[in-house]
Amino acid sequence: MRIGVVSDTHNNLANVRRIVQLFNAANVDRVIHTGDITQAKTLDLFAHLRAPLYGVFGNNDVERDALDAAVARHRFTFTEPPLRFTWHERAIVVVHDPRELERVHVPDFALALHGHTHHYRHDHDRGALVFNPGESAGHLEGHNAIGIVDLATLATTLLRF
């Protein structure tokens, strides 16, 4: 199973359109958003994904009534962090701010995903792969990125756009 990972889209609709194209072309099985969607119209664009969307809300997701309505309308799965689940026999935790990982027992997970920093991160913390693909809302072409994680191997791929 391959999952797409995106963070901090901050209502950059042009970038979200590109992100949807990239994930659809990559044939990911699921997509995870690690927060800071900002506005519901961003989720309306993510409805064009061919894979189901899951995620957590971030500190800039203050328009919660509209976001919650869009989540329900598109049958996405979003919650306050942390979001925990098991896919492909891998325990996964999703937070927005990496400091939120201090509130979970990271060694219980094979994969920990976060956003918030807008910086790429790929390292290991007490046995868990901690991954953030980095910036996705920037305006400089080639400096934005989303990630793909292969849950069979925990190999990651960064897609720059």
111-113 and 90-94 beta bridge pairing: parallel
Average pLDDT over residues 131-160: 96
pLDDT digits (tens, 9 = 90+) for 4-21: 999 999 999 999 999 999
pLDDT digits (tens, 9 = 90+) for 30-58: 999 999 999 999 999 999 999 999 999 99
CA–CA gap between residue 161 and residue 146 (Å, rounded): 8
pLDDT digits (tens, 9 = 90+) for 58-115: 999 999 999 999 999 999 999 999 999 999 999 999 999 999 999 999 999 999 999 9
Which of residues 141 and 154 earns the better pLDDT score? 154
DSSP 22-46: HHHHHT-SEEEE-S---SHHHHHHH
Give the closest residue to 97 by CA, choosing from 56, 64, 138.
56
Residue 134 pLDDT: 97
CATH number listed for the domain at residues 2-160: 3.60.21.10
What is the pTM assigned to this prediction? 0.97
Helix (H) or strand (E) holding 64: helix 64-74
Residue 125 pLDDT: 93
pLDDT digits (tens, 9 = 90+) for 54-72: 999 999 999 999 999 999 9
